């Protein structure tokens, strides 16, 4: 029998719930839980609906959590995730992998293929295979439609119960565990027990699929049970009792044994390490220190006592810490030595340019970026650093050229449009600046904001510039039509 919830536009209920949660909360995300229960069903969430829900979810995460905006670290985690996706059931689909800069050891999968990894988790891993195992596990939650099952299960309940459960699901993904628990207490006891049962089942299923993805992606399939077992044994060291990932992804001795048994089906062999993994860890570690001097002390003692996973990466972290402590000459010497041994390592290139710029030698920093960009024009973090340096140096023509080239390679990257918009603003091209900023909002899925920017652009444009005004009007009409079609689709679901 159809419940009252089924008579309403399901996606709108979810979006409204997420928006309400976002506006009601004033503190940062402390933990993001992965909700799981129910049976698989795509009846109420079309791919378009899920994409929209994903964008709303991500906007909420950005408002309430500290999403890391470092292009180098973001690019690394995205590439790692993409490599795993190629060996999953989601091959060819777009996923967004990002880092939450918080010390908690946790990870989560949201709607629309958004997967977040806490910086604390990256630092807790001891190999790239361990990090990959967590990401593969989260990918499996998505490919096995565990989140959609939760929405489907809630949709089949009575109106009041469904509303409470939907709220607890969305708070669990985008908010604090305490708030999610508080809301969940209002849900019927049977629904809560169903959630517990399906959580256990989904975790086991994600383990199985995740291990398969790991093995196919040339990572150690044993890394998953090894990592969770180490966290379980070390749980007494954490003030909260256990790491959050063990709360949101319950681990039992049986689950570890089962995962290890599945992993043992794959033959033993050596898995070479990835230097970028180690460099990313050390860059994140430097960022954890509020006092740069303490960071320098940490890396000095680590090098003296051999307390590190990778000496080269530890030296890189030392250079970053020295730079943060304004000891530029020492930092520069270390990076130069590292570059001599590894001249194409992008982390060293960007560190060298950054140190030069911070020490006041902007021309040297710009020269470094110019030289390496000519050799690696498709490297995204390098292009971003080069564009920013050119913009700072007021070399707007060159900055515009490089940004436009980068957009041809990544035409759906909001950051590039925002950089180009800033360049046009500095060059006193206000109408063009707003027109381009609209494209950044389009890439983010925010049509209303994009339309608003185009309206400002049209009002700012020189009416004698027929080409520009026609271009703005054409794009504005297209986006308004898209808005109408979207609104009509929503109304048809009522």
pLDDT tens-digit map of 4-24: 333 344 444 455 554 444 444
Query: Which residues does 372 contact at the CB level (< 8 Å), separation at least 6?
Result: 349, 379, 382
Compare 27 and 334 and report the one with higher pLDDT: 334
**264 has binding-site annotation:** no
**141 has binding-site annotation:** yes
Per-residue pLDDT reduced to its tens digit, 319-365: 999 999 999 999 999 999 999 999 999 999 999 999 999 999 999 99
Boundaries of every domain in the chain: 4-263, 274-360
- Is the per-residue pLDDT at 197 higher than 70? no
- Is the per-residue pLDDT at 91 higher than 80? yes
Tell me, what's the pLDDT at 427?
A: 97
Question: Please, are residues 394 and 409 in contact by the beta-carbon 8 Å criterion?
Answer: no
Tell me, what's the pLDDT at 262?
A: 83
The residue whose two tokens read 């990401």 is 135
Q: What is the mean pLDDT of residues 256-282?
A: 88
**Of residues 50, 56, 104, 138, which has the active-site annotation?**
138
Give ∠ CA 264-266-271 in degrees, rounded to 5. 105
Compare 251 and 385 and report the one with higher pLDDT: 385
- Is the per-residue pLDDT at 174 higher than 60? no
**Of residues 207, 315, 424, 432, which has the active-site annotation?**
207
- Is the per-residue pLDDT at 67 higher than 80? yes
Per-residue pLDDT reduced to its tens digit, 203-231: 888 888 999 999 999 999 999 989 988 88
Q: What is the mean pLDDT of residues 191-211?
A: 69
- Is the per-residue pLDDT at 249 higher than 80? no
- Measuring CA to CA, which residue among 17, 31, 22 is closest to residue 178? 31
Range with lowest mean pLDDT among 138-147, 217-226, 462-471? 138-147
The strand pairing partners of 116, in sequence order, are: 98, 108
Q: 428 catalytic, yes or no?
A: no
Range with lowest mean pLDDT among 80-84, 225-229, 400-404? 225-229
Range with lowest mean pLDDT among 150-164, 170-184, 255-269, 373-387? 170-184
Q: 425 catalytic, yes or no?
A: no
Distance CA 309, CA 122 (A): 13
Tell me, what's the pLDDT at 466?
A: 92
Tell me, what's the pLDDT at 309?
A: 93
Query: Which residues does 321 contact at the CB level (< 8 Å), separation at least 6?
Result: 286, 289, 292, 295, 296, 298, 299
**362 has binding-site annotation:** no
pTM: 0.83
């Amino acid at each position: 029998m159809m419940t009252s919830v089924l008579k309403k536009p399901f996606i709108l209920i979810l979006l409204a719930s997420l928006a309400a949660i976002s506006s009601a909360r004033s503190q940062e995300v402390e933990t993001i839980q992965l909700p799981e229960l129910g049976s698989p069903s795509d009846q109420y969430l079309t791919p378009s609906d899920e994409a929209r829900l994903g964008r709303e979810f991500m906007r909420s995460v950005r408002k309430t959590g500290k999403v890391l905006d470092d292009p180098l670290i973001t690019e690394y985690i995205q590439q790692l995730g993409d490599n795993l996706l190629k060996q999953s059931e989601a091959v060819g689909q777009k996923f967004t992998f990002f880092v939450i800069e918080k010390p908690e050891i946790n990870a989560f999968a949201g709607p629309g293929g958004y997967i977040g990894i806490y910086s604390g988790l990256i630092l807790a891993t001891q190999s790239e295979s361990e990090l990959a195992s967590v990401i593969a596990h989260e990918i499996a939650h998505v490919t096995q439609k565990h989140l959609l099952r939760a929405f489907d299960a809630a949709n089949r309940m009575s109106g009041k119960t469904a509303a409470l459960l939907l709220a607890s699901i969305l708070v669990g993904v985008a908010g604090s565990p305490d708030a999610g628990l508080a809301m969940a207490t209002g849900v019927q006891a049977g629904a809560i027990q169903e959630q517990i049962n399906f959580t256990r089942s989904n975790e086991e299923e994600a383990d199985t699929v995740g291990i398969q993805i790991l093995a196919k992606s040339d990572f150690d399939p044993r890394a998953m049970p090894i990592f969770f077992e180490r966290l379980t044994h070390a749980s007494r060291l954490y003030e909260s009792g256990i790491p959050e990932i063990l709360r949101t992804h319950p681990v039992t001795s049986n689950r570890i044994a089962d995962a290890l048994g599945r992993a043992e089906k794959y033959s033993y062999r050596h898995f070479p390490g990835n230097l970028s993994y180690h460099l990313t860890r050390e860059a994140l570690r430097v960022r954890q220190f509020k006092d740069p001097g303490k960071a320098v002390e940490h890396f000095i003692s680590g090098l003296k006592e051999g307390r590190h996973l990778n000496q080269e990466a530890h030296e890189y972290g030392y250079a970053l810490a020295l730079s943060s402590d304004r000891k530029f000459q020492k930092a520069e010497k270390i990076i130069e030595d590292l570059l001599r041994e590894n001249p194409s390592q992008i982390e060293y290139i960007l560190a060298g340019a950054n140190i030069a710029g911070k020490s006041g030698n902007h021309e040297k920093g710009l020269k470094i970026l110019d030289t390496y960009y000519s050799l690696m024009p498709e490297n995204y973090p390098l292009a971003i650093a080069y564009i920013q340096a050119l913009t700072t140096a007021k070399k707007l023509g060159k900055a515009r050229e490089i940004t436009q080239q980068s957009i041809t390679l990544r035409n759906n990257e909001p950051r590039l449009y925002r950089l180009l918009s800033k360049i046009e603003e500095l060059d006193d091209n206000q109408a063009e600046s707003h027109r381009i900023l609209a494209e950044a909002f389009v890439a983010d899925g925010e049509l209303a904001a994009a339309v608003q920017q185009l309206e400002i652009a049209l009002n700012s444009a020189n009416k004698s510039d027929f080409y520009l005004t026609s271009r703005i009007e054409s794009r504005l009409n297209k986006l308004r039509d898209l808005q109408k079609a979207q609104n009509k689709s929503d109304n048809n679901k009522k």
